[in-house]
Every structure is written in structure tokens, then in C-alpha cells.
Structure 1
Amino acid sequence: MFKFFRHIRKQLLTENKLSQYLLYAIGEIVLVVIGILIALQLNNYSEYKKEREKEIALLANLSDEIGLDILQIDNNTQLSQERLSRLDSLLQLLHQTDSIDKSSFIQQSFEFVIDQYFKSNSGIFDEAVSSGKMSYVQNETLRQNIFDYYRNARESDTDGTTRQITDESITPLFIETLFMNREGFSSLGLNVHNISDLQSTDLEALKTNRDFWKMVLLKFGSNQEQISRWQDIKIQAQEVKQKIEEEITNLDQ
């Protein structure tokens, strides 16, 4: 083809047709420019597709990561509710203290000092932020929603408060009201009957022991507050996950 154009150009110059030659030269330049523009467009489209593929991969990973948060919240909620239910059943036994096995009661009471804690699965998000990959997400509203979700999931102080209440309040009250007795030490495999004046557990006295009921109140209150907070995070997680999946569908079209 280039030989063909050169032949025409040579012929026009030989025949001294300057005006036609100029028109031909301009047309040739236009063709070259069009070719360059097409090549640039193809290159830009190729780069655009690569960027969108990276965006889809990142969004899919973030969706999976947020899905793990939802599963963790569901698991934590179930475990906490089941624990509170068992503790409630244990408290109901105090209606008839004479029929309670003291050692078993102490063993079951250990659940007063056990809690669940939520920790967001943020490895993909953290890496994307530190490496600048969050810029792959072109939808600014969605990108902000993702940032808001992880900020909210991390800034929750409910679990921290629960941990502090358990460590600083519930555990000391548990030791004092339920553990400082013969059955408490026996649960650890220690027989102190002959070396200590510790008495047997007085379950009847627990009914009017304000420290014991303070412990119960703190346990149920802090755990129920946790569950409520987790549900708020779960709702936001579900909304963000749905928006991410809708964006992936749009990008795939």
C-alpha cells in the first residue's frame, strides 16, 4: 500500500500537478493522523479494560471480606445469646436452692466471665488503602461507602467496654460471690477443706447478695449492648456488600 501511495505522489510531481499533489499530501497526513488516533483509542480501551478487571477483582475480594464479617457477627450473636440463655436457666435454679448441685452450679457459672468479641476482617481493605488500589474503584459514592463501613466497624468501643467490664468488674465479683468457697477451689482440683476455714457455697444467700446481682446485671447488660451494636454493623455490612455486587454486575456488562 505504501508503494501505491509513493507511486501516486511521484506521478503527480512528474506531471507538475502541484495543487493535486498538495491535496493528496494533506489527505495522506489525515490518514496517518486517523491511524494514530485509532491506535491510541485501542490502547486506551485496552488499558481501560485492564483497570476495570483490577477493579472487579478488588471489589469481589472486598465483598468476600465483608461477607466474613457478617458470618462472624452471626456466630458471635448466636454464641452470646446461647450463653445468656444458659445463665438465665442457671439463675432460675435459685428458686429451689436445696435441689442444686453446688459444684455443678459453680462450674456453669464460669460463663459469667466469657465473652465474644468482633474484629473486622480488613486485610484486603488495609492492603488496598496502603497500596493505593482503592483508586481502582471509580464509583466515588461506593468507595466512600466502603471507607465508612470499615471505619464504623473498627471504631466500635462496645466490645472494648465489655472486655473492661468483664475484667475489672464481673471477674472480681464472680470470684468474691461464687468462687471463694470450697466448691470453687474444688472446681480447680484443689481440696482445701482441712487447710482453710472457707465455708461451703451458700446459694440461699445469693438471693439477697447485691454484689452477685450487680454481676448479673453487668453481664446481661454489656452482652446485650454488644449484640445490638453487632446488628448495626451487620446491617451496614449487608448494604455495602449489596452495593459492591451491583457495581460488579454493572462493570461486567
Structure 2
Amino acid sequence: MLKLFRKIRQKLLSENRVNKYLLYAIGEIVLVVIGILIALQINNWNDKKKEEALEIKILKEIHSNLGHDLFEIQDDIRVMDSVDLASKSVIHFLKTKDEPTEDFYNDVAIIKVAPHFDSNKSGYELLISKGVEIVSNDSLRGAISVLYESAYSYYNKYEEERIKFKAEQIHPVLLKYYTAHVRPEFLWKSSFYIAPEDYVQMKKEGEFLRLVNGVNFENYMVHNRAERTKKYIQDLTKFIEEELHNKGVYY
């Protein structure tokens, strides 16, 4: 093609047809510019397709991570439900019973349990590494940021406070009054035994009852935050599914 253009230019020049040569030269420049613009448009289209493919990949990975996180938070909530029932049972038992029982020992073991939420952030970390602007939907991008930078961080602080409270407050008092036993047949693999005479003394002192009331209150606060975090996860999961649906990806 270039060889053909060169021949035409040479012919026009040899025939001294300057005006036609200039028109031809301008036309050739226009064709070159059009070719460049088309090439740029194709490159832009290819880049856009690559970005969209990367966005879909990241959103699918975050969606998968959220499935794991939902299971984790629901498991946390189930454990906290058990702690709630156990702490209320222990409080009632201490107020109404004069001797400990096997059920009492089991409930005492439950109140020391502190579940830990371990979120999977591989999709979000990939998003951060590629640039958050890869998510084209501004509202979705904001919702992702709220969950990972705010909701998760806030909930983790609640958990850290719970772990510290149980390590510094509950365990020392348990060991003050009880003897710990490994019980593989129990769900929590342990129980805390107390002699009948020590049980009577413990009730009289009141320290353990106050502590269990504190456990019940602390558990309520973390449980409430867990429920709110679960709602964030569910809402973002649905949001991502809608966005992927709009891009032709179906769940």
C-alpha cells in the first residue's frame, strides 16, 4: 500500500501537477490520521474490555469471600447465643440452687468461650492492589469500602475487647473458685468443678455472680454488633450479585 502511494506521488510530481499533489498529500494525511484514530479506538476498547474482565474477576472473588464471612459471622452468633443462654442459666442457678450440678459445670465452661471472626479479604486486597476505581459503580465501590474499612474494623475492636475481658477478668475468677477439667465429650471440651462447700462460699461472696452478669452484658453488646455486621455482608452480597447480573454474570 505504501509503495502504491509513493508511485502516485512521484507521478504527480513528474507531471508538475502541484495542486493535485497537495490535495493528494492532504488526503493521505487525513487517511493516516483516521487510521491512527481507529487504532486508538480499538486499543481503548480492548483496554476497557480488559478492565471490565478484571472488575468482574475481583467482584466474583469478593462475592466468594463474603460467603465465607457470612458463615463465620453466623457461627459467631450461634456461639454467642449459647453464651447468652449459659450465662442466664448460671445467674438463675446461683440465685436458686444450693449445690452445683453437671449442667451447671457445663454452663460455666460455656461462659468463658470467645469466638473469633476471621474474615477472608483476598478479593478486597486484590481490589486495593489494582486500584479501587476498577469498580465502575460508585455506590458499590462505597459499599465495599464501608464493609471492609469500617464495619469489619469496628466489629474486630469489639472482639478484641471481649477477648481481653475474658482473659483478664473471667479466667482469673474461674481459677479462683473452680478446678478446670478436660471433657472431650462436652461441646466446649472442658468443665469447671467446684466443691459443694466452696460453692456455698462463692455464692456468699457474690464476686462470681457479678462477673457472670458482666459476661451477659458484654455478650449482648458484641452479639448486637455481629448482627449488624451480618446485615452489611448480606446487603453487599446482594449488591454485587445485581452488578454482576447487569454485566451478564449470573448467580
TM-score under structure 2 normalisation? 0.77
CA distance in 2, matches of 1:199, 1:27: 103
Q: State the match for 1:68 in structure 2.
A: 68
Q: State the match for 1:248 in structure 2.
A: 244
Q: State the match for 1:163 in structure 2.
A: 163
Corresponding position: 1:213 with 2:212: no
CA positional deviation for 1:212: 2.3
Q: State the match for 2:172 in structure 1.
A: 172
TM-score under structure 1 normalisation? 0.77
Query: Which letter maps to 2:25?
Result: A
- Classify the secondary structure of the residue corresponding to 2:41: helix
CA positional deviation for 1:62: 1.7
Q: State the match for 1:147 in structure 2.
A: 145
**1:117 to 1:188, Cα distance in 2 relative to 1, 3 A:** closer
Q: State the match for 2:97 in structure 1.
A: 97
Q: State the match for 1:236 in structure 2.
A: 232
CA distance in 2, matches of 1:4, 1:81: 83
CA distance in 1, matches of 2:248, 2:195: 72
Corresponding position: 1:81 with 2:81: yes
Q: State the match for 1:44 in structure 2.
A: 44
For the 8 Å contact 1:165–1:218, the answer to whether it is kept is no
Residue-pair matches, total: 237
Q: State the match for 2:187 in structure 1.
A: none
Q: State the match for 1:27 in structure 2.
A: 27
Name the stretch that deviates more: 84-93 or 144-153.
Answer: 84-93
- Classify the secondary structure of the residue corresponding to 2:119: coil
Query: Which letter maps to 2:117?
Result: F
Q: State the match for 1:110 in structure 2.
A: 109
Name the stretch that deviates more: 29-38 or 115-124.
Answer: 115-124
CA positional deviation for 1:217: 0.6
Query: Which letter maps to 1:84?
Result: D
CA positional deviation for 1:252: 4.4
CA distance in 2, matches of 1:146, 1:232: 15
Corresponding position: 1:137 with 2:135: yes
Q: CA RMSD in A?
A: 3.2
For the 8 Å contact 1:55–1:136, the answer to whether it is kept is yes
For the 8 Å contact 2:87–2:215, the answer to whether it is kept is no
**1:251 to 1:144, Cα distance in 2 relative to 1, 3 A:** same
For the 8 Å contact 1:170–1:218, the answer to whether it is kept is no
CA positional deviation for 1:205: 5.9
* Structure 2 segments unaligned to the other structure (5+ residues): 184-193
CA distance in 1, matches of 2:169, 2:2: 89
Query: Which letter maps to 2:135?
Result: V
* Structure 1 segments unaligned to the other structure (5+ residues): 190-197
Q: Deviation per CA, 1:2-60, whole angstroms, max 9, x where unpaired?
A: 56545544554454433223222211221121111111111121122112211211122
Query: Which letter maps to 1:79?
Result: V
